[in-house]
Structure 1
Amino acid sequence: MKTLVVLGGGESGVGAALLAKEKGYSVFVSDKGKIKEKYKEVLINNAIAWEEEMHTEAKILNASMVMKSPGIPDKVPLVKLIRSKGIPVVSEIEFAAMFANATIVGITGSNGKTTTASLTHHILKQELNVGLAGNIGDSFAKQVLQKNYQNYVLEISSFQLDDIIKFKPHIAVITNITPDHLDRYDYKFENYIASKFRIVENQTEDDFLIYDADDEVIVKHLENNPVKSTLLPFSLTKRIENGVFLENNNIKITVNNSEFIMPTTGLTLEGKHNVKNAMAASTVAHLLKIRKQTIRESLENFQGVEHRLENVLKINKVQYINDSKATNVNATYFALESMDAPTVWIVGGVDKGNNYEELFPFVNEKVKAIICLGADNEKLINTFGNMVDVIVETQYMSEAVKIAYKIAEIGDNVLLSPACASFDLFENYEDRGRQFKDAVRNL
């Protein structure tokens, strides 16, 4: 009997365990931390063996395959040991795809992938049987087991791509590549870029790669490392024969001589980056033969993603905006770029080696006050201290929002866009965003 050992008892791990059991594997789930109660119950109800707060090596090294949670780095001694024994280590994406007889759209990138994946799913579900999974929602494996959709839109992180072997989306999207998570890639940007490009490594000329042709990192990588996939670039600045470009505020898509035009005025999402997200999503829809009218209507009624430039409330004519999902500088760049009023900016958290320079023009032009919300705010204060009249620090969300309320005047914005990870003071970026929204509602 084949044995699957699952390292990490979270959403993806438990989903993979359920699918593996159904497919006749003997399954063992091992988590170095505590497993959440809701996941423990699922394992117990399905008679799947598990352990927490430890890894029993003898049991783990008995596996015919190991599925590891994306949160576990390759440099962990246990992972090195497993690999040294010749046991294949895969991600949940790889494992679930082995059993999904479906058309897969895989979306990766440093920023915009959640919005693009959600928007793509929103369009496709109007006419297709389609699931949304990966880094978002219910695990891919669980959906393959329970729903068995004919199509999937997967939001995929570089960590998930690091452990694929044969995984191949029919349509791949790379939204952009900017330095992020470099701590996991030996602080080498080229390692991170290569990791993102694994999304196309198994593609053939019958498959498609949709990518941002304005992103120099992507364009340069493609020049030096040609791929087999059929390329469909999108751009806000240049005319594109086969792909997507912007002309007189119209998105123009050309694929195999068939054309589709969508005015950007109809988009519900604001900002240049969202025009790009819409370009990528509508190209996928066009390839999968969704009707043009359906694409247009879907782009016009899409509500956006929680914690991504989410308008929370207007109080005393001040707009409070939750962009907690901005966990790196590039995401905050888009947020500040789209501000059209003086802004009180709440920033900070766990710094991943951030370089804040690209934000300077926006901070000088748009930001009237900065509230540093982190366990260690020294770098922020040194970087921005001279640029704004008011810079304060706190370690409590409720206090950050109260300070912002005092500073903001009629017509201003209060923007939570941290540019950092959340783990110093919060459980995750969702927790941070919800605490912000609760604090705003309690003003």
Structure 2
Amino acid sequence: MERLVVIGGGESGVGASILAQKQGFEVFLTDLGEIKPEYKMVLNQKQISYEEKKHSEEKILNADWIIKSPGISKNSALIKKIKEKNIKISSEIEFASQYTGAKLIAITGSNGKTTTTSLAYHIFKNAGYNVGLAGNIGKSFAWQVSEENFDYYILEISSFQLDDIQNFKPHISMILNLSPDHLDEYGYNYQNYIDAKFKITKNQDPQDYFIYNEDDKMILEWFNKNNTEANRFPFSLKSEVKNGAYMDGNNIKIQVNSERLEMKINELALSGKHNVANSMAAGIAGKLSKIKSEVIKQSLADFEAVEHRLEFTYKINGISFINDSKATNVNSVYYALETMNSPVIWIVGGKDKGNDYTELIPFVEQKVKAIVCLGLDNTKIIETFKDIVSEIVETQSMKDAVQAAYSLGKKDDVVLLSPACASFDLFKNYEDRGNQFKEEVKKL
């Protein structure tokens, strides 16, 4: 019996354990932290052996196969030892994909992944397709493969999940955009990160499809030196596209082979140019899957925004509070500031991942009246903006950040939590950060 060790006892790790047990592996799960009670209950019920608050190397390094949680750094000492012993390492996504015959639609990019994945799922669901939602969103992919019987999966995929790709083969893959992110995990080398993203197309063949952003110069540069066997369907906000989608004045046009769909931009549920791009990408996936144009248009019109992504929360004394906690990189904040039409009090900061804030300077000059830093080390933020924004305040708790922002605001201003950083210095994750923001605003 092959021994399979799962490193990480969160949603993806527990899901991988359940599927591995079903497939006849001897399974052991290990987590350096504490495993949540609800996951422990499942592991106990299924009689899957596990440990928490430690990694016993003698129980890990005798594995035939390791499934690594995307949250565990590939630069960690344990992962290096596993690689030295030439033990096969996979992500939960890679592992689960080998045990399903469902068609996979896999979506990656530096920004807009969750929105576009949710939007595509909404379209497929409205079309009556038997479809699951997984990856970095919803319930574990492996768990669903073990217990459900879907014909399609819409998967949100991060670069960390793509790092260990061997056989993962989506029927439709998508790269929405590229901007420097997680560079601390990629040797501060942007090209390494780009190459990880493009692994999404690695195993695709001429029966498969690749949807990509034709306005993104890094994507086009990759194509100068590399190729994919998949059929290419670009989308663009700037120029006409023959097979794919583009913005034409106040309309979007989607053309897939002989099928054509046209829709007014002001009918889209989501505002902002980046969401026009996301809507086009999801629309192409729908058309490639033979979904009727009317269903796609209706779905793009009645979709409800994702929590923690430009989520309007409250208006207090004329000041609007917007929760964009999911903006964990500079490019996300760029999109957020682009959509703002009122003076902004910007709450920013957290665990820096090698950020370069200079691309935000034009928007900050134009739209930001005050900055509230929320992090343990705000040096880089202050250095970049101190000559542009006269009012910069430092805080180290959400309560202080919200109160400072409120006191700086007046009627018709917007308080925007759009941190540009990971949340791990002060919060459990971006959801915890966003929820604390909403709680503190409610108390004002």
TM-score (norm 2): 0.98
Please tell me the residue identity of whatever aligns with 1:175.
L
Measure how far apart 1:221 and its partner are: 0.3
Which residue of structure 2 aligns with residue 61 of structure 1? 61
User: How far 1:40 moved relative to its partner?
Assistant: 1.3
Residue in structure 2 matched with residue 42 of structure 1 by the alignment: 42
Unaligned runs of 5+ residues in structure 2 are none
CA deviations on 1:183-204 (whole Å, 9 max, x unpaired) are 1111111100000000000000
- 1:386 and 2:390 are equivalent in the alignment: no
Q: Which residue of 1 aligns with 2:343?
A: 342
State the match for 1:402 in structure 2.
403
Distance 2:79 2:380 in 1: 34
The one-letter amino acid paired with 2:26 is: S
Gaps of 5+ in 1: none
Shift of 1:408: 1.2
How big is the shift at 1:42? 1.1
Q: What amino acid is the match of 1:394?
A: T
* C-alpha distance in structure 2 between counterparts of 1:223 and 1:101, whole Å: 33
* Alignment match, 1:82: 82
Equivalent in the alignment of 2:109: 109
**Aligned mates of 1:422, 1:152 — CA distance in 2:** 29
Q: 1:360-390, CA deviations, whole angstroms, 9 ceiling, x for partnerless residues?
A: 1111111111111111112212211121221
Matched with 1:15 is: 15
Q: Deviations over 1:298-342 (max 9, x none)?
A: 111111111000000111222110000011100000001110011
Aligned partners of 1:303 and 1:75: how far apart in 2? 38
Give the corresponding residue for 2:377: 376
Q: Structure 1 residue 227 and structure 2 residue 228: aligned?
A: yes
Matched, 1:287 2:288: yes
Instruction: Supply the distance in 2 between the matched residues of 1:399 and 1:51 (Cα, whole angstroms).
Output: 38
C-alpha separation between the residues in 1 aligned to 2:195 and 2:311?
32
Aligned equivalents of 2:350, 2:80: Cα separation in 1 = 31
Q: CA deviation at 1:291?
A: 1.3
What is the distance in 2 between the residues matched to 1:363 and 1:129? Answer: 45
Instruction: Report how far residue 263 of structure 1 moved.
Output: 1.3
Matched residues in 2 for 1:66 and 1:290: separation?
38
Distance (whole Å) between structure 2 residues aligned to residue 304 and residue 394 of structure 1: 29
1:176-233 alpha-carbon deviations (Å, 9 max, x no partner): 1100001111111110000000000000011110000000000110121011110000
Aligned-pair distance for 1:63? 1.9
Shift of 1:39: 1.3
Once the 2 structures are TM-superposed, how far is the Cα of residue 25 of structure 1 from its aligned partner? 1.2
- The answer to whether the 8 Å contact 2:350/2:422 transfers is yes
Once residues 50 and 150 of structure 2 are traced to their aligned partners in structure 1, the CA distance between those partners, rounded to angstroms, is: 29
Deviation of 1:100 after TM superposition, in Å, equals: 1.2
Aligned residue in 1 for 2:150: 149
Moved more, 190-199 or 292-301: 292-301
Which one-letter code corresponds to 2:426 in the other structure? L
What is the alpha-carbon distance in structure 1 between the residues aligned to residue 330 and residue 24 of structure 2?
45
Deviation, structure 1 residue 248: 2.2
1:26-76 per-position Cα deviation (integer Å, ceiling 9, x unaligned): 110011222222211111111000011222222223322111111222332
Contact 2:308–2:434 at 8 Å: present in 1 too?
yes
Mapping 1:29-428, distance limit 5 Å: 29-126=29-126, 127-428=128-429
CA contact (8 A) 2:188 2:354 kept: no
Q: CA deviation at 1:86?
A: 3.0
Structure 2 counterpart of 1:9, one-letter code: G
For the residues of structure 1 that align with 2:81 and 2:419, how far apart are their CA atoms? 37
Aligned-residue Cα RMSD (Å) equals 1.1
Q: For residue 4 of structure 1, what is the amino acid of its counterpart?
A: L
**Could you report, residue by residue, the CA deviation over 1:409-429 in whole angstroms, capped at 9, with x for unpaired residues?**
111111000111111111111
Task: Give the paired residue count.
Answer: 443
> What SS is found at the alignment partner of 1:125?
helix
Q: Which of structure 1's runs of 4+ aligned residues deviate more than 3 A?
A: none
Q: In the aligned structure 2, how far is the partner of 1:233 from the partner of 1:203?
A: 16
**Whole-angstrom CA distance in 1 between matches of 2:56 and 2:371:** 48
TM-score in terms of structure 1 length: 0.98
Give the Cα–Cα distance (whole angstroms) in 2 for the partners of residues 396 and 34 of structure 1: 24
CA distance in 1, matches of 2:24, 2:380: 52
Taking the aligned partners of 1:81 and 1:399, their CA distance within structure 2 comes to 43
Query: In structure 1, how many angstroms separate the alpha carbons of the residues matched to 2:51 and 2:276?
Result: 46
- Aligned-pair CA distance for 1:81: 2.6
Per the alignment, residue 27 of structure 2 pairs with 27
1:245 shift after superposition: 0.8
Q: Note the C-alpha offset of 1:267.
A: 0.8
Distance 2:132 2:22 in 1: 20
Aligned to 2:439: 438
Please say if residues 321 and 416 of structure 2, whose CA atoms lie closer than 8 Å, have aligned partners that are also in contact.
yes
